[in-house]
Amino acid sequence: MSHRKKALNGDIIRQALKESVLKLDPRVMFRNPIMFVVEIGFVITLFLSFAPNAFGGNTPAWFNITVAIILLITLLFANFAEALAEGRGKAQADSLKHSKKDIVAYKESGGTLREVPSSELRRGDIVQIEAGQWVPGDGEVVEGLASVDESAITGESAPVIKEAGGDFSSVTGGTKVLSDWIKVRITSDPGESFLDRMISLVEGAKRQKTPNEIALNTVLTCLTIIFLIVVVTLPFFGNYLDVTLEVPVLIALLVCLIPTTIGGLLSAIGIAGMDRVTQFNVIAMSGKAVEAAGDINTIILDKTGTITYGNRMASEFISVGGTNDSAVAEWAVVSSLKDETPEGRSVLELAKKMGLRDNQSLAADGEWIEFRAETRMSGINLTDGRKVRKGSVDAIKKWVVEQGGAIPNDLDVKSDKVASAGGTPLAVAVDERLLGIIYLKDTVKPGMKERFEQMRQMGIKTIMCTGDNPLTAQTIAREAGVDDFIAESKPEDKIAVIKREQAAGKLVAMTGDGTNDAPALAQADVGIAMNSGTTAAKEAANMVDLDSDPSKIIEVVAIGKQLLMTRGALTTFSISNDVAKYFAIIPAMFMAAIPQMEALNVMRLDSPMSAILSALIFNAIIIPLLIPLAMKGIAYKPTSSAKLLQRNLLVYGLGGVIIPFAGIKLIDLMVQIWV
Ligand SMILES: Nc1ncnc2c1ncn2[C@@H]1O[C@H](COP(=O)(O)OP(=O)(O)OP(=O)(O)O)[C@@H](O)[C@H]1O
Ligand SMILES: [K+]
Ligand SMILES: [Mg+2]
């Protein structure tokens, strides 16, 4: 896990204490209507502390001062919760800023390399980076291969290989090339780099309220207004009963009834949720994405590089139709001479290992046919007119038939054998002759089956989408334990699956790493790109997993669920608290005039004043007591959402009714000693 995981240290707490005072500024407070009402109450009772009779009231000055102080403390507690949650993000941002330094870049201009500061690099510039040098900006490798230390960004110290072509071509500014060299095309202008975006995200600069948060805030504000109307009109009933309802008492009642607990903790819950995702080494571009993750029904994963390790390596050349294996190897090499994908390069490596010479001269001046996910083929048109292709078996079969050739009888048996072992067979053809197959090996990452089982328990359906053939797909799907799979899918097929699920009312998450995954990542409600993947994928996604571990989507979903549950539970708790506070304050207000009210004093509280103060004190201290829960989130275990709801209603609804009775009684006993 991440080096960035920051515990709550003294610095963060000290800073948060300072912030809690600064946040008392009414212009800041105004944004939180519930707490703003408390602040107005504080100002009025503070005034009454010095002029107790200003509104013709009878409450003693000491009582007014006490109410004012408790209200101030309530405000500080709520501010502290928010400041604490923000503080962790700021600390993370600081450590990220350390990895942002001005780097010397070697920029290509007019055939030579020119030294320029990294801050001068623009999108499209080409730079060369050698062993020991820092990567000056985000970009894509256009030439070469190098091992790169990305620990500054990912916290992972093991170097990663970056190479041109394929899904491992993106590099991030601030990382370090350890060996060899690469040529990189810069993909971001100054100030817009991945690191810049990450810093501003964890700093909370871009934090916006999510739609869910806004909706809840609106409900809570309406509730506050209703209680305000109730409390403001109470004196009229009091008049009728010949009871004077004192202003500080009415303010205490109002503050106790309005949902200050959730009002004080709401933004801390949201910030902490995003922070938990970051600590998990996943960068979420918005709080909305994290919340959406909590409601996901379907997850689409690609196979290669996501469920499997993704370094599909050529491991065998197999002839069909009576040719020999070395002929297959020879033409496989010709078709791969300029294939920059890992698959293509692995063909050359295998041939070299087998001691085959490569036919560079044969390929000279040939027209290179680059691999595309749409065609599933790559190859070359030689100058002598011959066309060489390799690609997925079904694509090559079709191509060979188009060239007027026939399909050898033993092809299907041999390619099926490769596929049912979980490998990817690539067919090799020269014009109308299909020569044989290349066996590309890949392995399922360990622990996948357990992870998918967990997802099933969470009620999430997993669908593997792969460009590979149905048999390979089936083998890997079974081995990994996904619920469903779609083979031979082109990029648009992935989008179609997502749209189909969305049309059925499902929220869809998708993980991917390739440029061909980018449109689908953008279409999904939650798109998680692997940091090892291409820039296009990372830009389309709304989350980036720095560890490039697709199974981590489980934790992201859990964190999202936790966030939604925590918010719901604390709202329930906050509102059900009112019952006890009502039974503490209402009898106290009317007892003098209506002795029968004593029947409602179920807690047997000492005196009207101590009853009111006890309820108000409980209302204040419940906020810091719940900060740890707001920050850590409610524990989540994979079960159905109906069961979760039931459990949470029981714990936080019933608990919210009972706990304050005990709490207020306890505080009353202590207040008695003091009053
Ligand atoms: N360099 C290459 N040259 C020719 N054919 C290739 C090459 N790489 C892959 N193929 C073929 O094209 C198919 C699709 O490859 P691609 O990498 O686009 O699949 P994908 O959709 O990314 O799969 P996955 O979802 O498993 O990652 C592969 O299954 C393989 O048969
Ligand atoms: K309250
Ligand atoms: Mg892929």
Has residue 260 been placed in a domain? yes
CATH code of the domain covering residue 452: 3.40.50.1000
Give yes or no: residues 52 and 144 share one domain.
no
Which contacts of 232-239 are long-range, i.e. CB under 8 A and separated by 24 or more positions?
Answer: none
- Name the token pair of 628: 């740890």
Has residue 115 been placed in a domain? no
Pairing status of strand 367-372 against strand 526-530:
unpaired
Give yes or no: residues 410 and 323 share one domain.
yes
CA distance 559 to 139: 31
**Among 125, 138, 167, 302, the one annotated catalytic:** 302
Question: Per residue in 408-419, is it b (16+ CB within 10 Å) or e — as a string?
Answer: beebeebbeebb
Residue with CA nearest ligand 1 atom 8: 343
Distance 663 CA to ligand 2 centre (A): 14
Q: Supply the DSSP symbol for 423.
A: -
Element (H, E) at 382: none
- Where does a domain end: 165, 188, 211? 188
Give yes or no: residues 397 and 268 share one domain.
no
* Chain-centroid distance, C-alpha 351: 43
Has residue 5 been placed in a domain? no
Binding-site entries? 339, 343, 371-378, 390, 513, 517
Question: Residue 373: how many CB atoms within 10 A of its CB?
Answer: 14
Ligand 1 binding pocket includes 391 (Cβ within 6 Å): yes
Atom of ligand 1 nearest to the CA of 306: 27
Distance 651 CA to ligand 1 centre (A): 51
Question: Residues with Cβ within 5 Å of ion ligand 3?
Answer: 304, 514
- Where does a domain end: 496, 511, 546? 546
Distance 513 CA to ligand 3 centre (A): 7
Place of tokens 């079969």: 397
Terminal Cα-to-Cα distance of the chain (whole angstroms): 53
For residue 636, the SS3 value is coil
Q: Is the ipTM of this complex over 0.85?
A: yes
Distance 554 CA to ligand 2 centre (A): 35
Ligand 1 binding pocket includes 423 (Cβ within 6 Å): no
Model pTM?
A: 0.77
Give yes or no: residues 439 and 456 share one domain.
no
Has residue 1 been placed in a domain? no
CATH code of the domain covering residue 368: 3.40.1110.10
Ligand 1 binding pocket includes 583 (Cβ within 6 Å): no
User: What is the Rg, in whole angstroms, of the alpha carbon atoms belonging to the chain?
Assistant: 33
Q: Supply the DSSP symbol for 444.
A: B
CATH code of the domain covering residue 171: 2.70.150.10
For residue 178, the SS3 value is strand
Give yes or no: residues 425 and 572 share one domain.
no
pLDDT at 359: 67
Give yes or no: residues 376 and 469 share one domain.
no
Query: How many Cα atoms within 13 Å fall on the side-chain side of residue 339?
Result: 27
Pairing status of strand 112-117 against strand 139-149:
unpaired
Give yes or no: residues 299 and 249 share one domain.
no
Give yes or no: residues 474 and 339 share one domain.
no
DSSP 54-109: TTS----HHHHHHHHHHHHHHHHHHHHHHHHHHHHHHHHHHHHHHT----EEEEEE
Binding-site entries for ATP? 339, 343, 371-378, 390
Has residue 49 been placed in a domain? yes
Domain span at residue 56 reads: 10-92+202-278+557-672
Residue with CA nearest ligand 1 atom 25: 466
In the chain, the number of structural domains is 4
For residue 514, the SS3 value is coil
Ligand 1 binding pocket includes 511 (Cβ within 6 Å): no
Give yes or no: residues 512 and 654 share one domain.
no
- Where does a domain end: 501, 516, 546? 546
Distance 203 CA to ligand 1 centre (A): 39
Atom of ligand 1 nearest to the CA of 305: 27
Contact 76, 21 (CB under 8 A): yes
Has residue 2 been placed in a domain? no
- Give the residue from 439, 481, 467, 418 showing the smallest Cα distance to 325: 439
Largest CA distance in the chain: 110
pLDDT at 461: 93
Atom of ligand 1 nearest to the CA of 392: 31
Has residue 638 been placed in a domain? yes
Give yes or no: residues 184 and 225 share one domain.
no
C-alpha distances out from residue 186 to 113, 337, 505, Å: 15, 26, 40
- Per the annotation, the verdict on 302 as an active-site residue is yes
Give yes or no: residues 290 and 159 share one domain.
no
Q: Using 70 as the pLDDT threshold, list the residues of the chain that sit under it.
A: 1-8, 99, 204-207, 358-359, 675
Instruction: Please give the order of strands across the beta sheet that includes 282-284.
Output: 282-284, 543-545, 526-530, 508-512, 298-302, 461-465, 484-486
CA distance 153 to 640: 36
Element (H, E) at 364: none
For residue 577, the SS3 value is coil
Ligand 1 binding pocket includes 425 (Cβ within 6 Å): no
Ligand 1 binding pocket includes 571 (Cβ within 6 Å): no
DSSP 292-344: HHHT--EEEEEIIIIIB----EEEEEEE-TT--HHHHHHHHHHHHTT--SHHH
Binding-site entries for Mg(2+)? 513, 517
* Chain-centroid distance, C-alpha 43: 41
pLDDT at 195: 78
Has residue 29 been placed in a domain? yes
Give yes or no: residues 449 and 485 share one domain.
yes
Put residue 321 in one of left, alpha, beta given phi > 0 → left and psi -120 to 50 → alpha. Answer: left
Ligand 1 binding pocket includes 390 (Cβ within 6 Å): yes
